Amino acid sequence: MNTYKNMLIAETIADVRAQVREWKAAGLTVGLVPTMGYLHEGHTSLVDAAAAQCDKVVASVFVNPTQFGPGEDLEAYPRDFDRDCGLLEEHGCSLVFHPSVEEMYAPDAATYVEILDDMPKQLCGKTRPIHFRGVCTVVSKLFNIVTPDKAFFGQKDAQQLVVIRRMVRDMSYGIEIVGCPIIREEDGLAKSSRNTYLNAEERQAALVLSRSIALAKKLIADGNRNAEVVLTAMRALIEEEPLAKIDYVSAVDGYNLQPVEGLEPGTLVAMAVYIGKTRLIDNFIVE
């Protein structure tokens, strides 16, 4: 176990378990913030929430290979562990779990956690078929390693949040899942580690995602509750941007992710759009 200023750094499962046992023996509560690193204000808002609600905060920094499909950006995914440590320590993290792939997955590992209904097949799952199996597996492992009282996830990855809630219910984990709001740049772009892939022209073009959300919210506020009418307007706006290519723009039930016709309170309106070669996601919940 190493230290970074006042924060512990663990690279092994055994070290994390030993430290958490010590904290729990002292009656302390533990919050978990799973991340893939290259942290931004969205991640640190989760750490802030965990620090406010729990006595100790564990953040994982692990680029999980099982949630990347062939041809996706596993090798290119940005990494800067030293910078991550500085941000985590500054925001009150108690321990960083930074394992190797070999520490997390045995060479002959053959066990996965997977939701077998249609939830993981909707939205991002249509073009990333193994993604949520990888997400559920690694989050399940982190839950077993850290045994947190609460775990904190961002609303920007809305499908992930819904899927994790279902997994926790179905597997009786007894962990409270806390969803935290999307953090945006001043011009509206949702914070994302993948924003670093964008050049200046693409960065400007990416604003079409948040503009389409603003348009949808205005249409809904004006009384338009027909999903296809609102989605068509969103798609038309996005298609006006030459650098944008739509993966999906969809409205689904916020609990089971099934497509809906009406935009009732709690409906999730979500999108994935390629800006150049970079796939960005964004969403909002209908009020």
Catalytic positions, written as ranges: 43
Give per-residue burial for 46-74: e unless 16+ CB within 10 Å, then b. bbbbbbeebebbbbbbbbbebbbeeeeee
Question: Nearest-CA neighbor of 246 among 206, 274, 214, 269?
Answer: 274
Contacts of 43 (CB under 8 A, 6+ apart): 33, 35, 87, 154
Q: Is 207 helix (H, G, I), strand (E, B) or coil?
A: helix
Asked whether 121 and 219 are in contact (CB, 8 A), the reply is no
What tokens does 206 get?
């990416």
Asked whether 113 and 140 are in contact (CB, 8 A), the reply is yes
Asked whether 175 and 148 are in contact (CB, 8 A), the reply is yes
Asked whether 283 and 155 are in contact (CB, 8 A), the reply is yes
- Burial (CB count <10 Å: 0-12, 13-18, 19+), residue 243: middle
Asked whether 177 and 154 are in contact (CB, 8 A), the reply is no
Asked whether 34 and 41 are in contact (CB, 8 A), the reply is no
What tokens does 67 get?
């949630």
DSSP β-ladder status, 7-10 and 268-275: unpaired
Question: Looking up tokens 């910078």, which residue turns up?
Answer: 83
